[in-house]
Each structure stands twice: as C-alpha cells, then as structure tokens.
Amino acid sequence: MKALAVRPGVTNSGEMIELAPPDSAEGAILVRGLAIGICGTDVEIMEGAYGQAPADDERLILGHESLGEVIEAAAGTGFSPGQLVVGVVRRPDPEPCDHCAIGEWDMCRSVHFRECGIKEQHGYAREMYRLDPQFAVAVDPRLGELGVLLEPASVVAKACMLAVHFLKRTDVRAKTALVTGAGPIGLLAALATRYYGLETHVVDVVDSGPKPDLVRDLGAHYHAGSAADLDISPEIVIECTGIGSVLRVAGAKAGPGGVVALTGISAVPATEEVNLSLFNKKMVLENKVLFGSVNAARTHYEAAARVLSEADPAWLGRLISRRVPADHWPEALERQTDDVKVVLDINPRARAA
C-alpha cells in the first residue's frame, strides 16, 4: 500500500512510499484512508522545521487531519464496516500521567506523548491503517467527506468549551465573541461560537475572496483590518493567527472578566515584541483568563462532531477549496491565493459520498 512519508529534519524529503498492510496488533479496527486535511504543520514538517519519526523508523508518515472508512472491526469495538471515522491525533505517554490515565491526553503532563503524523507516531496519509477503538471517533454519515474537518474543529470546540467553563465563574451569560484570523481554524471557530449562540465578529487582513462571505453566511460579522478598530467588548476571544501583535490587540479588546483562547502558532519570525508588562497589567486588573488550545481529547472531538452535524453542509463544503489526488501530493502543499482548506484524496475512488 502507498503512504506519504518524510524524513523529519530533512528539507523536501517527502515521498510516496510502499508499505506492507498494517499488522492486526496495531488496532482492532482496520480503516481505509479516504482523505487528509493539509495544514501549516504539514508544510513545516515537509520543510524540515518540525516533526519527529517513531523511535524504530527514520521516516514519519504524515497526516493528522484524517477521514477513513472502516473495513473490518473486531466484535465489541462499537464499530462496523462502512462507518466513517476520524483518528485522534494525540496519544498518551506509555507510562500515563494522571491526565492520560483518565483520557485527558490533551492535558498530558509528560513530554513523552505522541502525535500522529507529527511526533513519534505515524499519521494517516496512507491507504490503510489500524485504530484502537478509544482513538477512533465516529463521523455522522451525512457529513461524508466533510468529516475531514473534524480534527481542526475539535481544536476550536475545545477552546469554546473551556472558555464557556471559565466564564461560569460569574453568573453573567456570554454574548459576544471575537475571532482573529479567518483561515480554516478561524472559520471553524466562528462556526462554533455561532453554535453556542454568540454574536460573532471575525477579523482578518483580506477584504476579498471567499472568507468574508463565509463569515457573513454564518450570521457573523466580518471586518478587514485590525481588531483595535472594533467598538466591541467580547467575553470570548479566540486568537487563530499566532502573531504576537494580533494577540496584544485581541487580549486588550477582550472585555473585563473575558477569556482569551490561543489556537494559532505562527511560523513567521517575530518582528515585533509584545509589551508583556502592559499585557500582564490588563489581564490582572481586568480579571481576564488566557489559555492555549492546540490539541483535543475525545470529548472535544465528540463536541466538534455535534457542531459539524448541525452545520449547513453546503457551507462546510465551501471550506474545502481544493482536492488533490494522492499522486499529485506536492500540489497540496503549495499555497494558492484563495485556499481555505486543501484536502489530499488518499483513495479518490473510495471517496465518501
């Protein structure tokens, strides 16, 4: 079978390789890979800037945003042939910490956790793979190939769930959310905050292309420019760019007692320092909360599945701007002007309906 692999740390070492079918010891569920969502992390790994192969291999199979179809499932797994599934990305330390022991892999206190397609665990960019049932999340069959959006949606579902949790320290209901950045994560964050009933404002630098319409069609407000220009005081801010100067503005824009969730990590070298003393003063004096969300536990995947299931399928379909056949995989890593989410078809002839 074919798989897209890379030698971590070696620039442009990606290649489509041949592998033996997965061994049954790897998991009780045999999955046919259908599609892989491409994100900035994949590009960084391909450029040699990130990634770590499993201890017994010099190569790492890419792909953490997955969608697959169950081929075989052992009795008692809760899965059956034909079901669509997404594989969880983070795997616990073999010697689990207190969090991993109760299924909170995203909160692992150890440095020895693994992440599929990223760190010490092969990913899903292959024609077949096996999953342990605890790391397989069922996808609503009505979503079909749109289920490939589940993993990135889980990141923002976690951000929203935790933000709402932190806001429960008072009895005042959250009404307004600000999302900075209108990439795939930002758009899914806007979808999630609208799902939670929040008036949502999205800020990005572009004033044309598909992003403004995608935001407005959610019933949210799109702003091209800086969040500093907005006359709002949101209870929830979800920062999706990873840019320090944007964080500074977004953190200041959050209302007193507000919550700021960081979901972006920028690969762009920093050119401007954030005034941490002033930032700290605002956070402390206005009782704000700042936290990060970059990976998810099973509960967050399941919450994201609910959000996607209730979303307009036509809107979700517009997030997938390009589909690239596996044999043309380099094209999936090349950024184009109007790209939102690029998907690599692993088994195009078996694409979910």
Q: What is the pLDDT of residues 278-320, one digit of tens each?
A: 778 888 888 999 998 888 899 999 999 999 999 999 999 999 9
Tell me how far apart the alpha carbons of residues 241 and 227 are, in angstroms, rounded to a whole number: 13
268 pLDDT more than 80: no
Q: Are 304 and 153 spatial neighbours (Cβ–Cβ below 8 Å)? A: yes
Query: Which of 15-19, 246-250, 266-270 has the lowest average pLDDT?
Result: 266-270
Question: CATH 3.40.50.720 region(s) of the chain?
Answer: 153-292
pLDDT of residue 353: 45
Q: Are 113 and 107 spatial neighbours (Cβ–Cβ below 8 Å)? A: no
Q: Could you tell me which residues come within 8 angstroms of residue 338 by beta carbon, excluding any fewer than 6 positions away?
A: 209, 210, 321
Residue among 126, 114, 116, 121 at smallest CA distance from 15: 126
Give the model's confidence band at 197: pLDDT under 50 very low, under 70 low, under 90 confident, else very high: very high
Question: CATH 3.90.180.10 region(s) of the chain?
Answer: 2-138+313-350
* pLDDT tens digits for range 224-263: 999 999 999 999 999 999 888 888 888 889 999 999 999 9
Strands of the sheet with 221-224, listed across from one edge = 221-224, 199-204, 176-180, 236-239, 259-262, 289-292
Tell me how far apart the alpha carbons of residues 344 and 270 are, in angstroms, rounded to a whole number: 31
Tell me how far apart the alpha carbons of residues 204 and 239 are, in angstroms, rounded to a whole number: 11
Return the CATH fold of 2-138+313-350: Quinone Oxidoreductase; Chain A, domain 1 (3.90.180)
Q: Are 260 and 289 spatial neighbours (Cβ–Cβ below 8 Å)? A: yes
pLDDT of residue 242: 84
277 pLDDT more than 60: yes
Residue among 288, 286, 233 at smallest CA distance from 262: 288
Other Cβ atoms less than 10 A from the Cβ of 330: the count is: 10
Give the DSSP per-residue string, 21-83. PPPGGG-SEEEEEEEEEE-HHHHHHHTTSS-B--TT-S-EE--SEEEEEEEEE-TTSS--TT-
CB-based burial of residue 271 (10 Å sphere; 0-12 exposed, 13-18 middle, 19+ buried)? exposed
153-292 in CATH: which number?
Answer: 3.40.50.720
Residues listed for the chain: 353
The helix/strand/coil state of 118 is coil
248 or 142: which leads in pLDDT:
142
* pLDDT tens digits for range 25-52: 999 999 999 999 999 999 999 999 989 9
350 pLDDT more than 70: no
Give the model's confidence band at 111: pLDDT under 50 very low, under 70 low, under 90 confident, else very high: confident
Other Cβ atoms less than 10 A from the Cβ of 40: the count is: 17
